[in-house]
Amino acid sequence: MARRTVGSFREGEQLEEVFQARDKQLRANRNGNLYLQLDLADRTGLINCRMWNAGQSIFAGFDDGDLVRIRGRVQAHQGALQVIATCVEKASLDGLDPADFQVAPDHDADKLLQRALDLVRSISLFPLRALGEAMLLDPEIVEGFRCTPAGVSAHHAYPGGLLEHVASMMEVADRICPLYTGVDRDLVLIGCLVHDIGKIRELSSSKGLSYTDEGQLLGHMALGQEMISAFITKAEALMALPFPPETRMRVLHMLHSHHGALEFGSTRVPMTPEAVVLHQIDLLDSRVNMALRHLREDRSGATWTPVHSALQRRFYRGGTQA
């Protein structure tokens, strides 16, 4: 029998199936009674699950990233579907396909990698081109791009999401930079490539989506600076020339300012035209991905989606065309 997927759920259905557990929490309601909250994931999306009157023993019975067998009922809550579970227990992978529990990227990784390399090779400034090629010809970086999400819950939150995010940003940069006289296309392209490179070490998809220890302690900007500096050294060896200090400074400034504001994690605000452009492209690509995924994963069939928790808005799906 084919397994039941998150994307196939309908209100009122009884459910017994295996999913990947994510973001488990043990909470107390207003009366002080404990309940379990977690997200259930498979290749078709996520759905929130709650189990009332669940104690510490149930909470400790599995970890984020484990497979869990769920028994319960699908119901509507505030315009979205959720699962109310009567049983949550750790399950094994025996007889199951691991691919069933990971959201699949939208695009072919080989094609994205080749397109990113083509764009890097179109860069006219030799040191920047050498830096980009040193990264994209490195087997560990390539594998990291293939496997790493761009986030654990917000945008491109699936293995390979980092590659989709970076390649999409590079495509946007290639198209819009010629519209702005005075913006260095080469710098923006490299900025798109390297801005989240530290996430290869910050995030893991080996068991669900999670932060590594160094990711928690240092963050992707600090890790990214360390990685970029190492690849600048490799680029210097390839060129048999020193990397220009001014260019290095501008690349690292884009890395440290790409979140746009100090309160959003940047250590500096964007202070070059290229850093301003990079931040806006990053914002565009992440927000569009979040909106499209939210529309795709909403199974209510209603004209409006439920509120997107991160973006704090509903999205209009549209009514019947007259």
Mean pLDDT, rounded, for 92-116: 85
Closest CA to 65 of 165, 149, 166, 163: 149
Take residue 146 and report the two structure tokens written for it. Answer: 């293939």
Q: Give me the pLDDT at residue 256, please.
A: 97
Q: The domain 6-99: what is its CATH number? A: 2.40.50.140
Q: Write phi, then psi, for 266 (nearest 5 degrees).
A: -70, 145
Compute the distance between CA of residue 146 and CA of residue 200 in angstroms, rounded to an integer: 10
Q: Give me the pLDDT at residue 320, please.
A: 59
Measuring CA to CA, how many Å separate 79 from each of 75, 145, 154, 300, 307?
Answer: 10, 36, 20, 7, 8
Compute the distance between CA of residue 271 and CA of residue 253 in angstroms, rounded to an integer: 8
User: pLDDT digits over 220-240, tens only?
Assistant: 999 999 999 999 999 999 899
Least confident of 53-62, 180-189, 225-234: 53-62
Compute the distance between CA of residue 130 and CA of residue 258 in angstroms, rounded to an integer: 22
Q: Would you tell me how many other CB atoms lie within 10 Å of the CB of residue 52? A: 12
User: pLDDT digits over 79-90, tens only?
Assistant: 678 899 999 999
Q: Would you tell me how many other CB atoms lie within 10 Å of the CB of residue 6? A: 22
Q: Give me the pLDDT at residue 30, please.
A: 87
User: pLDDT digits over 122-151, tens only?
Assistant: 999 999 999 999 999 999 999 999 999 998
